[in-house]
Amino acid sequence: MAKIAPPAAPPQAPFKIRNPEGIGVLYVRQYTGRAWLVTHVGNRRHQATGIPWPDDDGTKRNRLGITQRQQVAVTRGLAILQQRVLEYRHPELRQEPTEAPTRLMLSAAIEEFNQAKGVHSKSKAIQSRYRNAVEHLLIGSKGDLVLESTTLRKRIITLKEEAEAKVNINYLKKLMYKVREMCEYWEQCGYVERNPINAIGIPNQVHEDDVQPMEQETFRRIVELATRQHHHTFVEYLMLMLGMGLRASEAVGLTWDDWNGQTLRVHGKRVRGNRTGVRFYAVFDTHGRATTPGLPGTLWPLEETLDRIRQRTGGKGKFFPEKTIANYQRMLLQLREELDLPPHNTLRSLRSGAVLIMRDVYKWGVEFRCLQLGHSVAVHIRHYEKRRRRSEESAEAAVTYHI
């Protein structure tokens, strides 16, 4: 019985198509994690066409083994290849443009990138990061400009200096990665001669103290200013975050269904030791003692914070209805600028500041802290203790009461 030959595998890069004129090849090459059509005519090697090679979408293939979308790209690429072959054979036919080509505006290039990469269909968090990258590093307060390598590089350098005073170094690094992705696309399309981020570089992440704790005096000043401006809900939010060491998203997601009179159910981050991400924060221990008695003049006791939130919400629904993390981040940024505070005083710094209170004021052992905060001892030591940890706690947890 004759064996049935397996179907031919779809073409992989490089996928070569020879020009019908007999000179030159159109083929696919990988650049920056994506395939692009490139021409090879005579001694002009690897001359880009600006046409991306579509991914295999699983649709029907033609006799060449490529999909319909890929065939459209090949048709466009062959026209460019044939023109380059003609110019190679007859250099005298090459016509130099009498006028400088019209340059693309930066705003138009950003919109094209968003459409090509499908940014509008990504998650809200990713969309926000792309928007912030444009706001902080490309457009900002400077307005639009003609897209060109040198001009774009100077613009990014200028806005980067301004952004360093507004956002922390780790978030700035993430925004720089997004800008580099945009510049790579524009370079492949031929809109810029070179990627300006390669010359500027991306700042290194701060490893030792990337999450600096918010000092108690700084926290007190922020709370006092927010109270004078009647941002009472925001003050309750800050008190809850510092008192419990919550993540920003955990505090926003709390509801009265999560409170049973003794513990608060927190929907947090899924970790290796807790795949559900749900943990129970003990407001009172088994003896009825308050675990977070607060700090005089700085932090209310957790009982008082919950009472104030109950009076505002009626004890139903969410603790912070119709509020988002972005709202609170903008409000904190505004207060921080009015008080002329450094940019590391973020919502995230409240969690690191809570660690110091739990350890040095409440005298909790590392195991009980991890139980309340929702992560392992190894993560706690690595990301929250750093140089501030006591040497004896790195070997063995201090003794304290547990639930």
Average pLDDT estimate for 332-349: 89
Q: Is 70 exceeded by the pLDDT of residue 389?
A: no
Per-residue pLDDT at 306: 94
Name the band, by pLDDT with cuts 50, 70 and 90, for residue 272.
Answer: low
Q: How far is CA 314 from CA 142, 306, 343, 367, in A?
A: 47, 11, 36, 35
Per-residue pLDDT at 2: 47
Average pLDDT estimate for 41-54: 77
Average pLDDT estimate for 64-86: 82
User: Please, what is the Cα angle at 168 between 356 and 144, to 5 degrees?
Assistant: 160
Per-residue pLDDT at 3: 45
Residues 6+ apart with CB under 8 A from 185: 113, 116, 117
Per-residue pLDDT at 208: 42
Q: Is 90 exceeded by the pLDDT of residue 236?
A: yes
Per-residue pLDDT at 94: 63
* b/e sequence 308-341, b meaning 16+ C-beta within 10 Å: bbeeebeeeebbbeebeeeebeebbbebbeeeeb
User: Could you tell me which residue, 386 or 35, shows the higher pLDDT?
Assistant: 35
Q: Is 70 exceeded by the pLDDT of residue 172?
A: yes
Per-residue pLDDT at 212: 77
Q: Is 90 exceeded by the pLDDT of residue 68?
A: no
Per-residue pLDDT at 273: 63
Average pLDDT estimate for 202-207: 57
Mean pLDDT of the chain: 80
Q: Is 50 exceeded by the pLDDT of residue 5?
A: no
What percentage of the chain reaches a pLDDT higher than 90? 23
User: Could you tell me which residue, 84 or 281, shows the higher pLDDT?
Assistant: 281
pLDDT in tens, 274-299: 778 788 999 988 888 888 999 988 99
Per-residue pLDDT at 95: 57
Average pLDDT estimate for 187-209: 74
Name the band, by pLDDT with cuts 50, 70 and 90, for residue 40.
Answer: confident
Per-residue pLDDT at 271: 67
Name the band, by pLDDT with cuts 50, 70 and 90, for residue 258.
Answer: very high
Q: How far is CA 308 from CA 91, 129, 253, 314, 357, in A?
A: 81, 34, 17, 10, 22
By CB atoms closer than 10 A (0-12, 13-18, 19+), residue 349 is: buried
Average pLDDT estimate for 137-148: 86
Q: Is 80 exceeded by the pLDDT of residue 17?
A: no
